Structure 1
């Protein structure tokens, strides 16, 4: 039997796990909803839910991975009691990982394309119209979208084909350290812009009037949503890295560190975006328009805009690629466990599978733009995002959680023993009632609210 690969260092494990959690949502979603839901007040509530919901479920994924030493396809099967059906989660994990990458590879391609456009000076002194039509022209062109999606898929799997230590860990370490350096540099530059201080106040100073206006309940739901989805929990994306680490460190402490890194990047993204928008008198819009229209407009008018724009889209590409490589690693490990093929063979087969599966999303903005699965104006990307974010992640997280706390699952005693093995912050056994009864209800509540928001 082939020996289980392992990560070379604890730093590698933390940066890989954080890289999986840190994605495009941190950068374009977090700053926008922070502004929308009352600035600093929202951030405080978000951090509370990150600790209440995110960190415990991440600890459970790490523990299941480390105890089983298997991919998400087999992790529950190895640990479950004979005759139980927890291992069906393995199929949900595989579907979730593939589905997530079916649209994430296209969006990563957008980042790469914009990095190329910034680097070659396309946005230098460009008019507002030129900047807005760049995004429209890109999405309308199937050759650009499919081409950059293929570059993303091939690059990601080639990195993974080099192995856990020599490929995934080594390259993600460099990307993540560069990402952290870039985000600090960009934030300092943005905060020093003339007129940027107003944007900072809007972003960081709690506005309780805004909270009252929107309603505390709505702010809490938005914070819960963001805290839950920012960490990519429920599809074994964290379990796979748990399976590659030793027993030297307790797992709750490692989860807290990953949450801190993830939050650091999200908050610093706002420190780049809000002062820049304020300095140039533009609104920090939501979604793609913020990243692909608002910010390029700002960079085109800024001194040294070509440099800062290029660095920003390089940072965005690293944020996206760190997630792609992490999730691809989970896909490869599952595929190896399912078929028994070698790592390299698994990578080459999955390059073909992933390109085919990613085509509907890439073509959904042009050739297949007439397909509106969630109603008028929706795209194939919206459907895939809905299936992952609103269905698979919460259901998968609930299964992992119940597996760790139920007697007919892995069980509380086994989970807490694994989670607290090693030095570092321990998970208190006093949390058993909260994790067994309260947290499942929070996830079910989040699931129902997500569906209600989508359809009503």
Structure 2
């Protein structure tokens, strides 16, 4: 059976971006940037993104594209006799399984919250009630399991249609919708009271704050964020690279 390929460069870019853009960038990045010195942290982040992140991402894409196989089989296909690179393939597979366990659970939370919002249960709710709703949800494992199972079923359903007709097509729609939503949220956020103070905390370089936390901790946080941004280290980019032609 011939292995299906992605139908367009746009599909490949959006699929890779869909893997990389997540909680770590939308939610974690703003607060961790402010915590570690604002614009000063961003400088370290960009440095590690360019010096470490982009080269490793290119290498992962290359491994997948050259082998046209999954991370486990890719190393077997490319390594020389006696080499042990294939051991990382098993680590990558375990990492991807762990990542899916995490994201299917969180996606289930999101569907649950969407249901609560659509049914009007958040109308007039203050922050304490919203926080209490989350705590209440965590106390109901069967509710969380139900939404998680629904996410898994939806995922399998999309993949069963095929790479181009299923995954690539839905990714184009969802990623463009995400971009639109993020633009709306960004524009709305800068119109809120205290937006100027928030932007200052987020982007204004504060080396005193960085020194107080520790330069070493800041560097480690910037490196972690750079790798998290590009979803590196678990073969995710190699998987996407394997679905584009040589």
The alignment's TM-score, normalised by the length of structure 1, stands at 0.52
Query: C-alpha distance in 2, partners of 1:57/1:129?
Result: 43
How many residues end up aligned between the 2 structures? 246
Query: C-alpha distance in 1, partners of 2:177/2:57?
Result: 25
Corresponding residue number in structure 2 for 1:65 = 64
Query: C-alpha distance in 2, partners of 1:149/1:227?
Result: 28
1:241 aligns with 2:232: no
Query: C-alpha distance in 1, partners of 2:35/2:132?
Result: 26
Corresponding residue number in structure 2 for 1:145 = 144
Q: Is the 8 A contact 2:75 2:85 kept in 1?
A: yes
After TM superposition, give the deviation of residue 76 of structure 1 in Å: 0.8
**Considering only aligned residues, what root-mean-square deviation do their CA atoms show, in Å?**
1.5
After TM superposition, give the deviation of residue 213 of structure 1 in Å: 2.0
Deviation string, structure 1 residues 293-330 (Cα, Å, up to 9, x no partner): xxxxxxxxxxxxxxxxxxxxxxxxxxxxxxxxxxxxxx
Deviation string, structure 1 residues 88-127 (Cα, Å, up to 9, x no partner): 3332222221122122211111112112222222222213
- Within 5 A, what are the aligned runs for 1:37-56? 37-56=36-55
Query: C-alpha distance in 2, partners of 1:217/1:96?
Result: 26
Bigger shift: residues 12-21 or 118-127:
118-127
- Within 5 A, what are the aligned runs for 1:50-449? 50-247=49-246
After TM superposition, give the deviation of residue 44 of structure 1 in Å: 1.7
- SS at 1:238 equivalent: helix
Query: C-alpha distance in 1, partners of 2:97/2:214?
Result: 37
Query: C-alpha distance in 1, partners of 2:53/2:160?
Result: 30
After TM superposition, give the deviation of residue 74 of structure 1 in Å: 0.6
Query: C-alpha distance in 1, partners of 2:244/2:182?
Result: 28
- SS at 1:73 equivalent: helix
Query: C-alpha distance in 2, partners of 1:89/1:195?
Result: 47
Corresponding residue number in structure 1 for 2:4 = 5
Q: Is the 8 A contact 2:19 2:231 kept in 1?
A: yes
The unaligned stretches of length 5 or more in structure 1 are 248-456
After TM superposition, give the deviation of residue 157 of structure 1 in Å: 1.4
Q: Is the 8 A contact 2:18 2:171 kept in 1?
A: yes
After TM superposition, give the deviation of residue 137 of structure 1 in Å: 0.4
- SS at 2:230 equivalent: coil
Query: C-alpha distance in 2, partners of 1:240/1:157?
Result: 17
After TM superposition, give the deviation of residue 215 of structure 1 in Å: 2.5
Deviation string, structure 1 residues 273-304 (Cα, Å, up to 9, x no partner): xxxxxxxxxxxxxxxxxxxxxxxxxxxxxxxx
After TM superposition, give the deviation of residue 158 of structure 1 in Å: 1.0
Q: Is the 8 A contact 2:31 2:202 kept in 1?
A: no
Structure with larger RCO (C-alpha < 8 A, sep 6+) = 2
Query: C-alpha distance in 2, partners of 1:128/1:201?
Result: 24
- SS at 2:136 equivalent: helix
Query: C-alpha distance in 2, partners of 1:196/1:175?
Result: 28
Query: C-alpha distance in 2, partners of 1:215/1:89?
Result: 32
After TM superposition, give the deviation of residue 35 of structure 1 in Å: 1.3
After TM superposition, give the deviation of residue 4 of structure 1 in Å: 1.9
The unaligned stretches of length 5 or more in structure 2 are none
Q: Segments of 4+ in structure 1 off by > 3 A?
A: none
Query: C-alpha distance in 1, partners of 2:146/2:185?
Result: 29
Query: C-alpha distance in 2, partners of 1:13/1:128?
Result: 39
